[in-house]
Amino acid sequence: MKILVPIKRVVDYNVKVRVKSDNSGVETANVKMSMNPFDEIAAEEAIRLKEAGTATEDIADSIGEAKCEEVIRTAIAMGADRGILVKTDVETQPLGVAKVLKAIIEQEGINLVLMGKQAIDDDFNQTGQMLSALLNWPQATFASNITINGDSAEVAREVDAGSETIKVNLPAVITSDLRLNEPRYPALPNIMKARNKPMDTKTPEDYGVDMTPRIKTLKVEEPSVRTAGIKVESTAELIEKLKAQGAI
């Protein structure tokens, strides 16, 4: 079984996000970037399946600017076999990414796609579902546990009321939630070795995909600052304050 793990390069989750002065987007210049946390969890799960002998090859893929090679190398240092970098300077959006992934899957003969449920920069939570529809494959989203049984997978997934376990036939698309696992830290020797592991560099045009954005961001603003609260000494004073504010 061959596994594909799509990975996105995003602003590191420890960094306080700042809006550009012209409100055109989020500031990324001179900002620490790293692997999307949900994708990191998916990468760890793929490595565990390979270590268990369930998978034969684990391929990490990223779509974006040349610097996306960094997150692929990180996945390889964790244990992935090789990487595919699809270079483009065009803004990546869910449908375009899903179309490129579909082409890669068909070319590489992938049996399972493991990916993060969403990216922490745009929070779209759409790519996995779109990819499943394009491939006409079953999907299991928000996975907190995955068990492969031959040509099927049992997936425990997070839902509003708690969790549910579903069974999907392979090939399939599975998206990871936070409780699926805890990703490993790549050891320094593996980081050094990852520099020499195979990395294919492609473009969307190589796969016959038009990545032209379909969504235009008009404006990005920071949340409004909350006004400070006040303390009251009695219930009567609270009621008076609420009346003055027109709350009651």
Confidence class for position 101, pLDDT limits 50, 70, 90: very high
Confidence class for position 15, pLDDT limits 50, 70, 90: confident
Looking at the DSSP bridge assignments, the partners of residue 176 are 116, 143
- Token pair of 188 as six digits: 């320094």
pLDDT digits (tens, 9 = 90+) for 25-42: 888 888 899 999 999 999
Kindly list the structural domains of the chain, giving each domain's residue range(s) and its CATH number in brackets, ordered by start: 2-244 (3.40.50.620)
Say what the pLDDT of residue 135 is: 97
Predicted TM-score of the model (pTM): 0.85
**1 three-state secondary structure:** coil
pLDDT digits (tens, 9 = 90+) for 188-208: 899 999 988 889 999 999 999
pLDDT digits (tens, 9 = 90+) for 211-248: 999 888 888 888 888 888 888 889 998 998 888 888 88
DSSP notation for 210-223: ----S-------PP
pLDDT digits (tens, 9 = 90+) for 154-174: 999 988 888 899 999 999 999
**Tokens 């997978």 sit on residue:** 153
Q: Is the Cβ–Cβ distance between 126 and 139 less than 8 Å? A: no
